[in-house]
Structure 1
Amino acid sequence: MSIHQATPPVDSLVLYKVRPARVVSVGEKIEIELDGGQSKRVRPKDIELLHPGPLRNLGELVPQEGELTEAWELLEGAETNLKDLTELAFDDFTPATAWAAWQLVAEGLNFSGTPQAIQARTREVVEREQAERAAKEAAERDWQAFLDRMAKAKPGPEDVGRLGEIERLALSRSEHSRILEALGYQQTPESAHRALVKVGHWQARFNPHPLRCGILMEDPALEVPALSDEQRLDLTHLTAYAIDDEGSCDPDDAIALEEGRLWVHVADVAAVVAPESPLEAEARARGANLYLPEGIINMLPADVTERLGLGLQDVSPALSFSLRIDADGALTDIELHRTWVRVERMTYTQAEERLVAGDPVLSEMASLCGRFQARRRANGASRLDLPEVSVRVEAEGVRIRPLPRLSSRELVTDAMLMAGEAAARLCVDNAIPIPFATQVAPDKAEGATDLASMYARRRCFKPTKLSMTPDLHASLGLPLYTRATSPLRRYSDLLVHQQLCAWLAGAPLMDEQAVLSRVGEADAASVAIRRGERLSNQHWKLVFLRENPGWKGEGVVVGLDERKAVVLLPELAMEARVRPRDEAALNQRLRLAVSDVDLPDLSASFRVLGEAV
């Protein structure tokens, strides 16, 4: 007999969604009672009849014992209905046995369908479903065990693959981690970083920022061609000086003097890196060397530096700018040659000592550069003496060393700027397409004589841009300028060299569109490099503070922001915000102590101990 009825009678057992219900009354809508005593009025189509009753109380639906497996085996592959299945399995059709039979159907293993059309699945389907359910249950147990290990911060070797999911979020390669969500973390790279450190998968001082910026973390492995056999001017009789920071390992410029003429030698990288070559494509894709406190990742194979770095071999090939500086600091008699040079390397400190001792060659160079600098100052060049430091990760810890303002450093800076202006003039005069470095003048032209005004002045300048049209570089005080003295470490300089060398050889030049396209690609990569360097330096400064929790030092107030003061910490070349005890004034010196360091958030807090004496 079919149990299907258009309107189920009072006291019948019906299915409401997945729950059993008893029909209480029948009208335009049907009133049903759910387990727990809750009443509800529903439409006839919202329920399905399981048994016509009578069912006086849902409490009658107690578990039943029957021949469930035998019923399935008899019906395997056939179709039936709930009444027939119930009678076969329990030898009786009551509300309680009907509900027990329906639960077997709802379980979805041996049976499926509706009360009026139940399909008994085949053995093959049932066994496959059983295997899938067992696998799912095992996976769920494994997942819960993993989450338990993570909550206890004790992941095992078997968890490395799963932790890769968190790493991808920590390195900004994905936007979501199911694991972090289950553990209650926010879906951010910082939270992922914090979780990986907590469970010991990342070391506490691990620096994720270059990888997070998408930067390649190994030198390119490409073959470097031999130096071409071409005519070069022999300048090995002149002593040239490559002056760099302590520990520098990629010297790509040097200076020499010859009877009042200044020579600026630059590593001739274009001699082995030709346009359209694999080396050129690799350098363009990387944009620049990556300088990290942990070390350097080169945009070109290390062999290029070893062979062409000035002073790393007894004699080096160079692209050399020759020029004179008149009494007004203007460049005259500009020449460009491919040369052989002999270079002596020294640090800025060593060069400073020789300047102080009156070294005649370095002193004459300083005098020439001084005239050039005076001209730049007269043209509005900014002198911002803001704190600078060198950050290095060494075996014994993080080393932070202030970089003092030295005459030797200014000498080299001005010599390189001369070479940049000379290269730009040569390219303009000879219609050579190159990227010019330009910077518009700031709206405000106030001078900057103290730390607070220098800090404010720096914020007025817009970033330097590369343009195919020569124009002013405001902060340098130069009417036109290009970057041409770092081809080992910066692609735009290498591109300028390639054009200049083609011009010297009378070879075809890249047109403006080709140059612009290359500049655009390399500049996009350089943005990531600069960001990676900036964030990495901040990271290691914070590691230093965390590993030196007793650190105390001075901060100079350079800005006022509501109730907080913006301070520069000269010892660390670091900016922070503090809450002074009393109202602060610009350039006021405060004694500070570190309070807390949060590496994943790249932040530190400081407390004010008082005013510095």
Structure 2
Amino acid sequence: MLNNDALAQLKGLKQQIEAQNEHTEATVKGTLNRYGFALVDDGREVFIPPDEMLKALPGDRVKICIRPATGPKAKPGQTVAEIERLVDSPIDRFVGRIVTKGKAVFVEPDLPVLRRWLFIPPHARNGSKSGDWVECAVLRHPIRDGKPSAKVLRRLGDDTTPGIENRYVACRAGIAWEWSDKAAASLVEHARQKSPLEEENRVDLSHLAFISIDAVRTQDIDDALYAEVTSDGWNLYVAVADPTSFLGDHPDIIETLADCATSVYFHGDMIPMMPEAISQEFCALSEEQTRPAVVCKMTVSDDGEVGSYEFMNAVVRSRAKLSYAAVDRYVTGHNDELIAFSTPLEALVQAYRALRKRRESHELVMEDRQEYRWHLNDKRQIDHIEAYEKLSSQRLVEECMVAANRSAARFLAMAEAPGPFVVHSGFRKDRLKEAQEFLQRHRPDLAQASIETLTGYRQVLSALAEPANPLPLRAMVNRLLTRARLSTAPSEHMGLALDAYTNFTSPLRKAVDFLVHLQVKAVLAGDTATVVTDAVLDRISASIARSRDATQAAERRLSANYLNRLTQEGVSQFTARVSHITSSGFTVRLADNGLEGLVDMRKDPEKFSFDKWTASLTSTTRRVELNQWVEVTYTGAPAQDDYRAQFTLIEGCALKPEKAED
């Protein structure tokens, strides 16, 4: 037994050691290995040993003890973190796949840097079986003994379930697959109480022969067009469905739409931003239905310039829903099946051609690239893919929408309303010097252009897109450009070379357009247009990004399934064009079907050097450049890389030309 002196010495030693330790809160950062790191609020990263890491999940907020590292491999001054208790865990619901080991059932979570399986007790399996894709929740946190468990909330399906790719990634992104009965009923009941056609301030335009041009299957038709010839051009009317007349004063509508943000379009599935009872039954500008609308009337001159404009709350009645294909045949003079609509169509076609010509000569038009259409089979998998060209009828609608959108932006800017505006700043501020050096190297005649101004930006981008350039200069500067963003303040949209821009024409499918309608109507009523804030726009932007990531993830899964099927059928080699290039490799777009994938040159036996000025990778024997045609072999789409297709260059491809002998 220890005497009192020995006990006192041990106690003092323990206090001395404890005084060397630090107790604080930190956030757990996982890795692909068994260990992790504790991110302290002051910026330090403290190593968490594997045994301690078993007690936490990535993202957990924990109380830790930072102590000196011990053991034969410990270095002087090295510290480690011991997890003392859980403060908060952000992991609640998650998705994953059911796996089994013997009689035990686990879920393999689809979470970044979490590679451990979570045990599912028998009572929490909810009928799921091995191979099922499921939505789960943490049932027991591992903080006590390092043994977490989960429960299955919902079985989404297995690999044979039609459309499982779409449902799975939507659930992973936190996107509700359908409106709940309660949420939908609240909006529908509110809408039923409204009678917008009886409002006194509405202008009756039902005598004008509006027509809609859309895909054959579209039901939530949110725009209709009419044009009439004038002495110096045309009057162009763009009528847009008016859901704000039904829902604008609903107490929760802005928060609800900020979280939805947009209708989500998957291949084979669509998640509507609004309950279909509202978008289709109440608001859609359907054929021969009298509906409320917000109409933008614009004067278009003979040379395609949009002059004066007027916004009005109106009543319209679409005369017909015409398909893109039928209108394209009319525009290109290949069919007279729409002869009954020749008067309004002819004026629209004339106005469209003038608008397009002016935009091409005075502004910027997005470059066309080869489009592809996926055809799905009964299992919602890709049956085949066909290439197609953008139709003239689609360009017609596009020009009318751009004209209305730019007019809406000017209208809100003149009223000093806080947007929302769509802003594109052009070249990134931190890349201006690099952009100027790029021009000096490739187009010295443009080196002095003021690329921060609308005029200078348009001059430069137009010149870089000229076919006579020996390199694909327009594509090469994409890495130097910003992305468009939402703003409460008007500013230039460099990408379109317009002084202001917004989105006005799709309020049934996009929350931004719905907010623009609220702002326009407030200005028309003489009220203060203040429903838009930076916080609301930030939420919408985050929701849009979440939806975009989900649709891209679903496309990768379907693409992987299709490429795997082709490989099984003996087709694994493809002709492709280099669409993006970095220091580690490049992205290719397959010529036959438009599918994209990565070629990782870090795995190549040869060492490649990257030249950002020529967008090229060069080794001793090979050279790969942007837009170059190459031959590649499909090697797979690994689940750990979220099913991104992987390719390799075939032997003998992209060889440098032999040097001529003297």
TM-score range relative to shorter protein: 0.5 to 0.7
- Paired residues for 1:61-460 under 5 Å: 146-147=103-104, 158=122, 161=125, 206-207=165-166, 208-219=168-179, 220-222=183-185, 223-224=187-188, 225-226=191-192, 227-228=195-196, 229-231=198-200, 232-259=202-229, 260-307=234-281, 308-311=283-286, 314-337=289-312, 338-357=314-333, 361-391=344-374, 393-395=376-378, 397-398=381-382, 400-442=385-427, 443=432, 444=435, 445-446=460-461, 447-448=464-465, 452-460=472-480
Within the candidate set 528, 546, 549, 2:564 is matched to: 546
TM-score under structure 1 normalisation? 0.64
Opposite residue 427 of structure 1, the aligned amino acid is: L
Contact kept? 1:284, 1:522, Cα under 8 Å: yes
User: Is contact 2:476–2:626 with CA below 8 Å preserved after alignment?
Assistant: no
Match of 2:645 in 1: 604
CA distance in 2, matches of 1:343, 1:377: 31
- Which amino acid in 2 is paired with 1:428? A
Superposed displacement of residue 475, structure 1 = 1.0
Deviates more, 1:601-610 or 1:574-583: 574-583
Structure 1 residues 280 and 392: CA distance shift in structure 2, 3 A: farther
Letter in 2 for 1:230: E
Match for residue 529 of structure 1?
Answer: 547
Instruction: Return the alpha-carbon distance in structure 2 between the equivalents of residues 534 and 599 of structure 1.
Output: 14
Q: Could you tell me how far apart the structure 1 residues matched to 2:645 and 2:126 are?
A: 31
Deviations 1:360-406 (A, max 9, x none): 64454243233333443445514322344444654253254545222
Structure 2: distance between partners of 1:242 and 1:292: 23
Residues 435 and 585 of structure 1, relative CA distance in 2, 3 Å threshold: closer
TM-score, reference length from structure 2: 0.59
- Runs (5+) with no aligned partner, structure 2: 4-9, 11-99, 109-118, 335-341, 436-459, 605-620, 655-662
**Could you list the per-position Cα deviations for residues 458-485 of structure 1 after superposition, in whole angstroms to 9, with x for gaps in the alignment?**
4443111111221110111211111100
1:469 partner SS:
coil
Percent identity reads: 21
**Structure 1's 182 and 204: CA in aligned 2 closer, same or farther, altered over 3 A?**
farther
What is aligned with 1:96? none
In the TM superposition, what whole-angstrom CA distance separates every residue of 1:178-199 from its partner, at most 9, and x where no partner exists? Answer: 8xx999xxx9xxxx9xxx99x9
Q: Distance in 1 between matches of 2:629 and 2:645?
A: 19
Does the CA contact (< 8 Å) of 1:389 and 1:402 recur in 2?
Answer: yes
Aligned-pair CA distance for 1:418: 0.5
Amino acid at match of 1:484: F
Q: How many residues align?
A: 458
Pair 1:575–1:331, CA change in 2 (3 A): same
Aligned partner letter, 1:367: Q
Distance 1:504 1:161, change over 3 A: same
Work out the CA distance in 2 between the residues paired with 1:5 and 1:587.
80
CA distance in 2, matches of 1:533, 1:434: 28
Q: Which runs of 5+ in 1 are unaligned?
A: 7-42, 44-142
Equivalent residue number for residue 474 of structure 1? 494
Equivalent AA in structure 2 for residue 147 of structure 1: A
With 596-605 and 527-536 compared, the bigger mean Cα shift is at 596-605
Q: CA deviation at 1:492?
A: 1.0
State how far apart, in whole Å, the 2-side matches of 1:482 and 1:343 are: 28
More moved, 429-438 vs 448-457: 448-457
Contact preservation (8 Å) 2:422, 2:487? yes
* SS of corresponding position for 2:422: strand
SS of 2:540's partner is: helix
Give distance in 2, aligned partners of 1:384 and 1:176: 53
Letter in 1 for 2:577: V
Change (3 A) 1:173 1:159: closer
**Is the CA contact 2:210–2:225 (under 8 Å) kept in the aligned structure 1?**
yes
Shift of 1:303: 0.8
Change in CA separation of 1:302 and 1:169 when aligned onto 2, cut-off 3 Å: closer
Q: In structure 1, what residue type is equivalent to 2:246?
A: V
Contact 1:437 1:482 in 2 (8 A): yes
SS in 2 for 1:475: coil
Segment drifting more, 405-414 vs 159-168:
159-168
CA contact (8 A) 1:380 1:477 kept: yes
Provide the residue aligned with 2:577 in structure 1. Answer: 556
SS at match of 2:597: strand
Change (3 A) 1:395 1:477: same
**Alignment partner of 1:540: what SS?**
helix
- Mark the CA change 1:391 to 1:556 in structure 2 (over 3 Å): closer, same or farther: same
Q: 1:538 to 1:305 in 2, by over 3 A?
A: same
Q: How well do the aligned residues superpose, as a CA RMSD in angstroms?
A: 4.4
Q: Are residues 402 and 253 of structure 1, via their aligned partners in 2, closer, same or farther at CA, if it must alter by over 3 Å?
A: farther
The answer to which of 258-267 and 166-175 deviates more is 166-175
Distance 1:591 1:282, change over 3 A: same
CA-to-partner distance for each residue in 1:403-450, whole Å, 9 max, x for gaps? 522222221111101001111122223333321111012254352357
Q: Greater share of helix residues, 1 or 2? A: 1
Pair 1:602–1:261, CA change in 2 (3 A): same
Q: Deviations over 1:213-260 (max 9, x none)?
A: 221211352342233321433333333232224533322112111232
What do the CA deviations read for 1:38-82 (whole angstroms, capped 9, x no partner)?
xxxxx9xxxxxxxxxxxxxxxxxxxxxxxxxxxxxxxxxxxxxxx
Residue type matched to 2:587 in 1? Answer: V
CA contact (8 A) 1:318 1:341 kept: no
Give distance in 1, aligned partners of 2:560 and 2:582.
23
Q: In 2 relative to 1, CA 333–542 (structure 1 residues): closer, same or farther, beyond 3 Å?
A: same
Write the distance in 2 (CA, Å) between the matches of 1:376 and 1:173: 52
